[in-house]
Amino acid sequence: MSANATRIRELISAERLQARLTELAAEIESDYRGGDPPLCIGVLKGSVFFLVDLLKRIDIPLHVDFLQTSSYGSGTEPGEVRILKDVDLPLRGRHVLLLEDIVDTGYTLNTVLALFRFRGASSVKLCALLDKRGARQVEVPIDYCGFEVENVFVLGYGLDVDERYRNLPYIGVLEGATDE
């Protein structure tokens, strides 16, 4: 694919993303205020930009950890999810808030949510920046959702195409891609 033949169409502007994060942060802060500090776990690498911007807006004690799973193009069967990097902190008795960039088929989150419950977390909630509802293969309950997107491959704000575009401040879609 020639990089020159492609153009990025903006789907969600940086301003809309940041405004929605302010709303989500207020909701999360109010739900967890007064309880034990939640353990916020980001799914690497895509959630990093979103996690930092969101958590900086939350004014209650919380802990942060990361998990990395196999992703698109890994060559695994659909629905087969591998843990590439596990969390460092114990989950037993913790209120876990999982932060994911996008829920697509739902296979990744379905597996991770089940694993965290199995490990004895007191509660496991999911905050997803994007919900690609039209692509869902297994149902995954999203407690805090940023935006619903169409069934297209999106990029930017943590989401990559072959490791590119993660640092865009907005969410976009590639247009005009040709095989040259």
User: Which residues have CB under 8 Å from 175's CB, separation 6+?
Assistant: 6, 7, 8, 9
Other Cβ atoms less than 10 A from the Cβ of 102: the count is: 24
> Is residue 131 part of the contact set for ligand 5GP (CB under 6 A)?
no
Binders of ligand 5GP in range 81-100 (CB under 6 A): 100
Counting every residue written for the chain, the total comes to 180
- Scored b (16 or more CB within 10 A) or e, 42-63 reads bbbbbbbbbbebbbeebeeebe
The interface mask with ligand 5GP, positions 25-64, x = CB under 6 A, is ------------------x--x------------------
Give me the least distance between CB of 65 and ligand 5GP, in Å please: 17
Name the β-bridge partners of 80.
Answer: none
Give me the least distance between CB of 46 and ligand 5GP, in Å please: 5
Tokens of 128: 């997803």
Instruction: Classify the phi-psi angles of 165: left when phi > 0, otherwise alpha if psi is within -120 to 50, otherwise beta.
Output: left
Q: Is 65 a catalytic residue?
A: no
Q: In the complex with ligand 5GP, which residue's Cβ is closer, 19 or 152?
A: 152
> Is residue 128 part of the contact set for ligand 5GP (CB under 6 A)?
no
Among 106, 124, 125, 126, binds ligand 5GP (CB under 6 A): 106
Among 159, 168, 171, 172, binds ligand 5GP (CB under 6 A): 159
Residues that bind ligand 5GP (CB under 6 A): 43, 46, 71-72, 100-108, 132, 153-155, 159-160
